[in-house]
Each structure stands twice: as C-alpha cells, then as structure tokens.
Chain A
Amino acid sequence: MQRKFDPIMSSATMPTTTQLTPLREPLRETLREPLRAPLQRAKVGMASLIFMESAFFAAFLVTYLYYIGKSPNGPQPIDCLELGPVLVNSVCLIASSFTVMLAVKSLARGSISGFRAWMLVTVLLGLEFLVGTGIEWRGLMVDKGLTIQSNAFGTNYYALVGLHAFHVTLGLLMLMGTLVLSMFGCINPRRDHVRVDILTWYWHFVDVVWIFVFMLVYVIGRVPQGGAL
C-alpha cells in the first residue's frame, strides 16, 4: 500500500479542478430507493441508548456501594427497609417483562387484540410498581423519618431508586403511547412488530436494572451497620 506516488500533483502547481460527478438525471428514481436496513439502524440506536443508560446507572450503583455502611447517624437500612412490599413490586415489574414479550409475540402472529390485551397487562403491572414505590416512600418518609437529607443512606436510597422509577416512568410512557396508537389502528402487525419489539428492549433494560438495584439496596445494603464508619 505504501508504494504509490502520484504523478498528477507536482509540488509547485496549485491543485487542478477535476469534475468527477456524474450527471444528475436518474436522481428522482434513486432518491425513492428504500433506505438500507432501517430496522438495523433502530436496533443499533436502541442498543447504544441502553449502553449509555448502563453507564449512567453504573455511576449511581457504584456510588451506592461506596456509601454502604457509612451512615453512623439517622435511620438505618435494616430498620427502614421492609422486604414484603418491595418483593410484590419486584414480581410485578419482572412479570411485566414477560407480558410485554407475549404482547410482541401476539403482534408478530398478527393478533392485534392479543397485543392490546398483553400490553394493557404490562402497563398495569408497571403502574403497580410505580404506585407501590410511592406507597413505600410515603411509609419511609412519614413513619421512619427517612428523607434525602437524613444521612448518606437516605441520600443514596432516594437518588438511586428515584432515578430508576423515573426511567420506569419513561418506559411506561413509551408502552402507553404504543398501546394508544394500536387503539387508533396505527399499528400494523406485519409492518411494525419489529419496531415495537425494539421499543420493548428499553422496558427489559429497566427491569434488569431493577434487579441490580434490588440486590444492592435490599440485599447487600440491608446488612446491619452497627454505626461503624
């Protein structure tokens, strides 16, 4: 590759203007060509978005991990966090990943009514998670006196769980938008099932993040801290 020298350009002359553009006659035809691999673009785009969000959550998870056991004063995780309600919420959220999968499968089979039904179940499960988190937070704030200002635990707990809930809300809005579109007949099973599938990747991602958050906050972070720094 390194052997070529160009006789065209001597070091003294200014560059010449060469015209390499072909005539522009068949333009209108070629512009109507379908875009190449549009769905693949969507897949790469969504995968990149998820990659980016992973880095975002990684920062918060690492910060949470760093602050475990560093709250000598104020409410402690072992006293505040109860596993019962959050397990119900978690089961709902994880289940919604499977129902959204069934929704996409129905769509791929061409059953728009099956899609609507499973999508509705998914949205309801997602809403349960949000409402459940809200009730849990209310309990923590009112009964246990844990706020974002209490200590490092409160700061990290509300930041991490809150940001996850924010992403659940975003995902839920996407799913609800799809559901509403399907109500108005804007979703064509044959044309759109791959697109909808790509959209649900985000929902799966939000679920997977929850598994990490749950493990960190409710399992690893709930160990007794004994006031040690």
Chain B
Amino acid sequence: MNTSIAANEGAHAGGEGPLSFWESAMRWTLSVDHKKLGIMYICAGMVFFLIGGLEAALMRLQLARANAGIIDPETFNQLFTMHGTTMVFLVGMPVLLGFGNFLIPLMVGARDMAFPRLNAFGFWLFIFGGLLLYFSYIGSEGLYGAPGAPDVGWFAYAPLTSRTFSRGNSTDYWILGIMVSGFGSMTTAINFIATVLCMRCPGMKLMRMPMIAWMMLVVAALVLVAVPVLTAAQIMLLLDRSLGAHFFDPQTQGSAVLWQHLFWFFGHPEVYILVLPAFGFVSEILPVFSRKAIFGYSLMVAATVGIGFIALGVWAHHMFVVGMGPVLDSFFAASTFLISVPTGIKIFNWLGTMWGGRLRFATPMLFVTGFVAMFIIGGLTGIMLATVPLDWQLSDSYFVVGHFHYVLFGGTVFGIFAAIFYWFPKATGRMLNEHLGKWCFWLLFIGFTMTFMPMHISGMLGMPRRIYTYEADRGFEIWNLISSIGVPVQMAGVLCFLWNVVKSLRSGAIAGDDPWDAWTLEWSTSSPPPEWNFDRIPTCTSARPLWDKKHPEDPDAHYE
C-alpha cells in the first residue's frame, strides 16, 4: 500500500517515475510530511487492530462453550490485557491522531503542522512504544523465569502489579511501552494545539473551523491534562517495582485506591479522547451526505468544549464498587449524568442535519449512520451504569463489556471506518469500491451486534468479565455462543475491507479532487495532495469555504 502511494507522490513531485522499494521506504521513514505521517499512523494502527482483534477472537473461541479448555487461564489473562491495551493505546489513539495529522493542516489551509519534526518524533515514539509492549512476549522472562505478556488487565490495578504478584518483567514492559507511546501522544497534542491556533489560513476564524479541527483541539487539551497523570502514576509504579517504593502497596501504608484514582483520572478523559475525533468525522461526513450544512454549528462547538471540561470530573464513576462513600458516589453519578447533556445535544444536531436532507447512503454515510445508532445505545447503557445502585449490581460484569464496546467499537471504530472510506480518495487518489464497502459495513454491523448485544444479557445474568471459563448451568451458554458466532462475521467484514483497500489501490476508480462534492478545504487541492498541500494558501470566507467557491451566487458568508 505504502509503495504505490509513494510512487504516486513521486510522480507528482518531480515526474521521476516510480521509485524503487528501498527509495520509497527511505522516503517514508525520513518523512516529516504530515500526510505521510498520518497515513503511517493509520496503517500501523490498523496492523495493531488486526493483532488486537485476533486476541479477542481467541478469547471468544475459548468462551464459546462452557468449560472449554482451548486456552489456559494464564494465557487468557494475557490476552484480555493485551487486547485492551492494544485497542486503546495502539489502535484508537494512533489512528485518531493519524487522522488529525492528515486532516488538520489540509482543513485549516496550512502547508504542514506547526512542528513537523516533532510530529515525526511523536510517530516513531508510538511505534517503538508499541513494539516494546509486544516485545514482552519474548523478552519479559528477566531473571525470574516468568515469561509472557502483561496479565494485569488494561487498567493494571494495584496491588496486582506489585513485585509480589507480578513476577518477571511483563508489567515493566506494560509500563514502559505505554509510557513511551504516551510521550508520542503528548508531543502530537502540542502540535495539534499550535497548528489549530496559529496555522489557520486567512479568514478562517475559530468559529469557521471545520468541526474536526475543534474536536482535535479539545482532544489535544484532554491529552495534555490526562496522559501526564497516567505517566506520573506509571513512574510511581515503576519506582514501586524497581526501587521498593511504597506508593501502591497497602501493606506499607501505600494505597491501592490511589492508583485507581490516578489511572481513571487519565482513563475517563481517554474515553473522550477516543470518541471525540469520531464525533468530528461524523460532523464532517453527515452534512456532506445529507447535502445540508451542519445543524447548530456553534452549539456543536459549545457541546464539544463542554464535554472536554466535564470529562475531567467524572473519573470515579469507574470506582463505585470501591466504597468511596455516598458523597463521592453522588457527585460522580451527577457529573456523569451531566455529561450526557452535551452528548445528547450532538446527537440531536446530527439528527437535525439529516432531517429533510437529501440523504445518499454511500459507504461513509452507512458507517456514520451506524455510528449514531450504536453510540446512542452505548450512551444509554452508560447512563444506566452511572446510576450507583445499578452499577453495584452490574460492575465488572459482561454488561460493562457490552456497554463500552458499543461506545468504542460501534462508536469509534465505525467512525474510523467511515473516515477511511471518506478520505481514502483524498489520500490515494482512488475511490474505495462501493460494493465491497457495503459488504464490509453490513458484515461488521451484523457481526458487531451479534457479538456485543448478548453481552448485556449475560452480564445481567451475572457473568463476570475476565473469567476464562464458566459453568454449564448458569444460563450463560446461549448468549456466549451467539457472541462468539458474531466474531467470524466481523472477521469477514474486516477481510472485505482489506481486500477492498488492496483492490482499490490497484484498480480503483480515479477519484479526482472532490469526489463527494464536499465543502472543506482539503477537497480543494489535488488527490493525493502535493507535499506542500496548496499551491496558493487558500482564503476562507465562511464555515464552508468550498461551497462559497462553487456557488458564488449564494455564498454561506451571507448568512453568517
């Protein structure tokens, strides 16, 4: 995939003809171009997506029947730890940051990010952080004879992570891998903020920015607040493990609950870091395929910023079962209910955008519509879980697993697929195949529903998460079987997608500059864009600069 894009770009840049594999590999490796880095982020994220997906598939295989013995308990612990860590840190963050990288300069009319070299630095930190995490499979034996990947869960609760309970070096690999890729995320966030605030083209006021630029600005601010706290907690854990400090060891006046507070102070904003960019994709794609300007732009911006603020005050709703007491429980339940208000505003604005529009269900629109529907379900179960007594019943059950997969798979991943189908023509110059795209969507949608909807029921029946097997007479069997049957359906959808990418890169329809008749600036340059993005820095007269250019008789600027 990379080589053909590079060859394409090479032909653009100087007409030198196709490059050799080595030349184009060097060109990509040494690049500080935000578009190349963005594409590399997304491709690397997709590789980790396949790995994380395979880990999940193995777990579902084990859980398909009661008392199955395909995978032993230790391996199962490693699988769910690596699956969660991979999907959050090595798939969600990099793919979304990759889209931010690719899109922000093009959308705000800049030639590159504010700090291109810092950008490349952040990308390579992410790659090496990911490799460090996966190196634990072979390198974690240390002096203790306890090999294997991290097995402490993606939120690594103390005291499970102490030297006593986690032998070998696997937890240290978890700490260091995530810390390194976290530094990458933080540098990228600094870059996003500087780019959005300083690099906009003439006329692009803040309130004319594409929604994605707004979302990425808020996401970057959240990264800068949340990720350092995780890094701090991980440094404390590293000190505990390597130097014998007592931050999280309850036997020596350390506090295991402190780890939970620090982790979730990062962990909950992280959820919004993962979902806000997807909100951005929806807010760009939905109007274009409804042939209407987005409904309530300024309210949408306000809701985004509101979510950003409230997201910092809801973390302990992950900890209702810890026993924080009625005051804290009530506070965090209330703040969690509160955050559903700006989120609800967004949903209604999207529906308002579709209302009365001329809808065209191309693949990106299918994924976006799926996103809105699935995210509503995930949001509603979220409100259920914010209700403290219900949470005491359902916490750590499969209901929670079902809930957050509706948010992160039905939400974020559907958003990512929508974005890939929408911007693939811009990145490569070729359209993805619509026929295969529709297959991809329906297989993923059906497989997703089959896998995750029954989890709500098995959770309410009392099935705890993170168990490697269960007894036959609990009523879990049929629901687990349906969940597991959904997995091959999803895999077929992903295979459809991969085949679509390969096929379209070779022989897809030539896209042209503006295949969707869209309104943001990235569609005003060629596909793929030249390294300098725009021959002339564009000017912006409204929130839909390209509409104004195409319709000088009725520009948006008249209505602002």
- Given A17-B513, A21-B525, also A56-B291 (CB < 8 A): no
The count of chain A contact residues (Cβ–Cβ below 8 Å) is: 58
Q: How far is the CB of B444 from chain A (nearest CB, A)?
A: 23
A52 close to B (CB within 8 Å): yes
| Complex Cα spacing A159 to B232, Å | 10
Contact indicator per residue, chain B 520-560, by CB within 8 Å of chain A (1) or not (0): 00011110001010011100000100110110001010010
Contact indicator per residue, chain A 28-62, by CB within 8 Å of chain B (1) or not (0): 00110101110011001100110111011011100
Residue from the list A41, A63, A149, A152 in contact with B253, Cβ < 8 A: A152
A interface, by DSSP: helix, strand, loop or mixed? loop
Q: How far is the CB of A87 from chain B (nearest CB, A)?
A: 27
A8 close to B (CB within 8 Å): yes
Q: Are B198 and A44 touching (Cβ within 8 A)?
A: yes
B239 close to A (CB within 8 Å): yes
A27 close to B (CB within 8 Å): yes
- B residues in contact with A59, CB < 8 Å: 228-229, 232-233, 262, 265
Q: Are B535 and A4 touching (Cβ within 8 A)?
A: no
* Highest count of chain B CB atoms <10 Å: which of A10, A31, A45: A45
Residue from the list A5, A23, A48 in contact with B291, Cβ < 8 A: A5
Q: How far is the CB of A159 from chain B (nearest CB, A)?
A: 6
Q: Are A48 and B224 touching (Cβ within 8 A)?
A: yes
| Complex Cα spacing A11 to B361, Å | 8
| Complex Cα spacing A158 to B228, Å | 19
- B residues in contact with A163, CB < 8 Å: 235
- A residues in contact with B484, CB < 8 Å: none
Q: How many A-B pairs with Cβ below 8 Å?
A: 174
| Complex Cα spacing A81 to B225, Å | 32
- A residues in contact with B434, CB < 8 Å: 14
- B residues in contact with A56, CB < 8 Å: 228-229, 231-232
Q: How far is the CB of B359 from chain A (nearest CB, A)?
A: 7
Q: How far is the CB of B504 from chain A (nearest CB, A)?
A: 14
| Complex Cα spacing A179 to B352, Å | 59
| Complex Cα spacing A155 to B258, Å | 14
| 184-243 of chain B: CB within 8 A of chain A | 186, 189-191, 193-194, 197-199, 220, 224-229, 231-233, 235-236, 239, 243
- B residues in contact with A44, CB < 8 Å: 114, 193-194, 197-198
Give the bracket for the number of chain B residues in contact with chain A.
35 or more
B164 close to A (CB within 8 Å): no
Q: Are A49 and B190 touching (Cβ within 8 A)?
A: yes
- A residues in contact with B111, CB < 8 Å: 35
B293 close to A (CB within 8 Å): yes
A70 close to B (CB within 8 Å): yes
| Complex Cα spacing A1 to B559, Å | 7
Q: How far is the CB of B213 from chain A (nearest CB, A)?
A: 15
* Highest count of chain A CB atoms <10 Å: which of B118, B197, B254, B516: B197
Q: Are B516 and A52 touching (Cβ within 8 A)?
A: no
Q: Which of B36-44, B244-252, B270-278 contacts A (4 or more CB under 8 A)?
A: B244-252
- A residues in contact with B321, CB < 8 Å: none
- Given A1-B293, A52-B190, also A159-B239 (CB < 8 A): yes
| 259-295 of chain B: CB within 8 A of chain A | 262, 265, 291-295
Task: Across the interface, name the chain B residue whose C-beta is closest to A59.
Answer: B232
Q: Are A30 and B535 touching (Cβ within 8 A)?
A: yes
Residue from the list B224, B252, B258, B554 in contact with A52, Cβ < 8 A: B224
- B residues in contact with A51, CB < 8 Å: 224-225
A15 close to B (CB within 8 Å): yes
Q: How far is the CB of B343 from chain A (nearest CB, A)?
A: 21
A and B contact pairs by CB, cutoff 8 A, 19 listed: A4-B554, A5-B357, A14-B434, A17-B513, A18-B513, A18-B514, A19-B512, A26-B535, A41-B198, A52-B227, A53-B228, A55-B228, A56-B228, A59-B265, A63-B236, A66-B255, A67-B255, A151-B253, A155-B254
Q: Which 5 A-B pairs have the closest CB atoms?
A: A17-B512, A59-B232, A56-B228, A155-B245, A149-B244
